Amino acid sequence: MSVRNLLDTAFAQPAAPGTRTSGLTVTDLGSGAWKQFLLGPGVGPGGSGSWDVQLAVLWKRVVAECGEAQRLADEYDIDWEALPHESKLILAVSGPGNVVLEIARAALATQREQWELERRFTRIHRRLPSDLAGLVPADVGALRSSLLEEYDFSTSTYTVEQDRHVRWLRALTGTAAYLAAAHMVPAPLALDVVTTAPLDEPTRDALRLPAPWSLITHDSVPLLAAQADDDELAALVEAGRCVGSEPVILGGLLAAQPDGRLDTTSGFLLISCLNAAGKRYQVLQPAAYGDHAGGRVLYGYAAQLAFARWTPPPVLPAPGPRPTSRSTLGRIATSEAGQSGGFHGVRVLDFTPPPEGPPEQRTATDGSREPLAFGTWRRAHWKPGVRIGIRDSDGCLVGPVYKDGAIEGLTFSRERRFFPRARIRPDLPLAPSTAVYRLPRPGVPKGQ
């Protein structure tokens, strides 16, 4: 199924109660609503090649980084960098003796061994949960391997022009996903990371990614949450969320420049949805960086990769003489290190959930300001310039952080810190005008 048909099918599903009629609904598909979500306003319906120039730049890079460009130079004396394909789909080139060299298949072939190994590990570990909730680091292999199918590694004749862009995109994203360093966001933070408030310009300029390619994954978050404004997001938070036929975001794929700066040529959102037959698909769909819904999600991922603390992949137990046998993979899959993503090299966001307790009780304050009558939600956000106390080798503060005697650089430093969404005045009820909707759970009949 083509990427465009897949998304069109997903976005054509009935909208959840309370969603805006101007959102991604079936009536808007003709005007390219899903493209506006991914690429920003002003993107017309057009053909699927409207994003070719940006993708071609990344394709040129991926073919070089996977080693295929060097093979072309060594075996056929073809200079990949000299091919003029910044605005073309280069899927195959002509070699000596008019031999057709299929680049898409060759690039994917460099990652086939790892893809097959992750598929075997997935069959031993577990299938992805049907509701895509409660994902663990060891599920990254299932997510990544589901991006490709066996037919992607076969030779294509490219006789159908419509299929060329789909194959090019799958070869690009499939290869890049296996070149990427894998990261996972804990389930309690998934919605906050996807719906993070827009970053300010200094924060965007300070973004530095930890690897040339980074794959970030998390529990499912509906696309309607990513495009929601503050009031709609508050309603979704209050109502809970569900995964059914609506499309959801499971993460993204981001590129970095050689100096670590964010490469904004294009990013990719990991989207999952059901097709008309009820089968679930995962695709890495191109998305532009910017102030639209998809662009904000990409910047939110970049901020986590740049500023948050990530735990390194755990060390796996010794594999023994047969590292890829079923018994060895089974032993790894049941080990603590295997469950924690050691087999896939997954880095997990260092997050300690806040303690659970009763809502804070507050009394009205004296003064001219009227006390708040209702509570509300504050969107997750990054705050620059947060004071962080400097500690000595024993972990003790060397001096005050805010009081008299606090000296920047000596007793405290400043860092950017992520603040998850929070209920403002949790002791107060939400305003009566706040619309709250209950989204149906998959498989539960209406009215229950």
Tell which wins on pLDDT, 242 or 287: 287
Percent of residues, the chain, with pLDDT higher than 70: 74
Task: Write down the pLDDT at residue 29.
Answer: 30
pLDDT at position 238 over 50: no
Which amino acid is located at 410 in the chain?
Answer: L
pLDDT at position 150 over 70: yes
**Cβ-proximal residues to 93 (8 Å cutoff; 6+ apart), any chain:** 72, 78, 83, 100, 101, 103
pTM as predicted: 0.78
pLDDT at position 1 over 90: no
pLDDT at position 381 over 90: no
Task: Write down the pLDDT at residue 141.
Answer: 92
Torsion of CA 404, 405, 411, 413, to 10 degrees: 50
Phi, psi of 249 (to 5 degrees): -100, 130
Average confidence (pLDDT) over 145-164: 82
Torsion of CA 246, 298, 113, 72, to 10 degrees: 130
pLDDT at position 15 over 70: no
Tell which wins on pLDDT, 78 or 384: 78
Task: Write down the pLDDT at residue 43.
Answer: 56
Task: Write down the pLDDT at residue 262.
Answer: 96
Average confidence (pLDDT) over 333-359: 79
Task: Write down the pLDDT at residue 32.
Answer: 52
136-145, 267-276, 303-312, range with the lowest pLDDT: 267-276
**pLDDT bracket for residue 50 (50, 70, 90):** low
Average confidence (pLDDT) over 38-61: 70
Across 46-60, 225-239, 262-276, 354-368, the highest mean pLDDT is recorded for 262-276
Task: Report the C-alpha gap between 408 and 390 in whole angstroms.
Answer: 9
Beta-bridge partner residues of 253? 215, 268
**pLDDT bracket for residue 295 (50, 70, 90):** very high
Task: Write down the pLDDT at residue 374.
Answer: 65
- HEC profile of the chain: CCHHHHHHHHHCCCCCCCCCCCCCCHHHHHHCHHHHHHHCCCCCCCCHHHHHHHHHHHHHHHHHHCCHHHHHHHHHCCCHHHCCCCCCCCCEEECHHHCEEEHHHHHHHCCHHHHHHHHHHHHHHCCCCCCCCCCCHHHHHHHHHCCCCHHHHCCCCCCCHHHHHHHHHHHHHHHHHHHCEEEECCHHHHHHHHCCCCCCHHHHHCCECCCCEEEEEEEEEEHHHHCCCHHHHHHHHHHCCCCCCCCEEEEEEEEECCCCEEEEEEEEEEEEEECCCCCEEEEEEEECCCCCHHHHHHHHHHHHHHHCCEECCCCCCCCCCCCCCHHHHHHHHHCHHHHCCCCCCCEEECCCCCCCCCCCCCCCCCCCCCCCCCEEEECCEEEEEEEEECECCCCCECCCCCCCCCCECCCEEEEEEEECCEEECCCCCECCCCCCCCCCCCCCCCCC
Residue-averaged pLDDT of the chain = 77
59-68, 242-251, 309-318, range with the lowest pLDDT: 242-251
Task: Write down the pLDDT at residue 8.
Answer: 45
Tell which wins on pLDDT, 261 or 333: 261
Phi, psi of 364 (to 5 degrees): -65, 140
Task: Write down the pLDDT at residue 49.
Answer: 40
For the stretch 386-418, pLDDT in tens is 777 778 887 787 777 777 777 777 777 777 878
Across 107-111, 133-137, 327-331, the highest mean pLDDT is recorded for 107-111
